[in-house]
Amino acid sequence: MAAMNVDELPEGEEKRQAVQAMFDTIAPRYDLVNRIMTFRLDVRWRRRTVAAMALPAGSLVLDLACGTGDFCIDLQKGGLRPVGVDLSMGMLAASRADAPLLHGDILALPIGNGVADGATCGFALRNLVELPGFFDELARVVRPGGRIGLLEVGDPQNRLIKTGYGVYFGKVVPFIGGLLSDRNAYRYLPKSASYLPPSAELLARLAEAGFIDVERELLTAGCAQLITATRA
């Protein structure tokens, strides 16, 4: 497997393989490092996502790029029926969720058209090889009227917060990641945000893929962003 080159971010198949290998490596301590580096705010952001989707109890929700299953757990607590999908066997093996899990690439889901009532995706958009194809796949598997909730790192607009955020993710997170897990992987985290297109483009592309009511909410002063939408 290819190792992640964080100084020259990979593209295409090279990126897919490097992302998969990286998450296999950091899976055993992923939850611990996540909680420390976000001061547990990630827990609050996922719960906000589940609430914002406002799906009725019993809805079938695909958690795409489910990792160790945090979203699946919160979806279940919200009375929903999650199914997780992830590329990394290491992350799936470390899952604590009591939900069905599938190993696969979320750009080519082994799931029928319109089968899901909703879908979530947490902190994975920037890890994908392409976003338009993912949005098309989301539109294919989510039924008309179904809801999606996409959670990602943000870009704080307040200058002071932006500076602190940059120093924290650029210096402190790789240091903590290096102590507890893999430094290279946690150097990739801040750099990978540059894969994300401007938010207006992201929202426009979701609308083009077949979503309406596309909304973006900034969380914790823009440290994270939540995009919700309804399948037309």
Site residues (vs ligand SAM, CB under 6 A):
19, 23, 65-67, 70-71, 86-88, 91, 105-107, 122-124, 127-128
State the Cα–Cα distance between residues 150 and 89, nearest whole angstrom.
22
- Residue type present at position 134: F
Shortest separation between residue 64's beta carbon and ligand SAM, angstroms:
7
Between 87 and 116, CB nearer to ligand SAM: 87
Between 50 and 212, CB nearer to ligand SAM: 50
State the Cα–Cα distance between residues 95 and 68, nearest whole angstrom.
4
CA distances from 171 to 5, 129, 164, 195, 209 (A): 17, 26, 10, 19, 37
Shortest separation between residue 159's beta carbon and ligand SAM, angstroms:
27
Shortest separation between residue 228's beta carbon and ligand SAM, angstroms:
16
Q: Which residue has the tokens 């914002």?
A: 52
The answer to whether the beta carbons of residues 84 and 69 sit under 8 Å apart is yes
Between 123 and 165, CB nearer to ligand SAM: 123
CA distances from 43 to 37, 49, 117, 150 (A): 12, 10, 23, 14
- The strand pairing partners of 7, in sequence order, are none
Between 60 and 109, CB nearer to ligand SAM: 109
Shortest separation between residue 145's beta carbon and ligand SAM, angstroms:
24
Shortest separation between residue 54's beta carbon and ligand SAM, angstroms:
20
Between 33 and 60, CB nearer to ligand SAM: 33
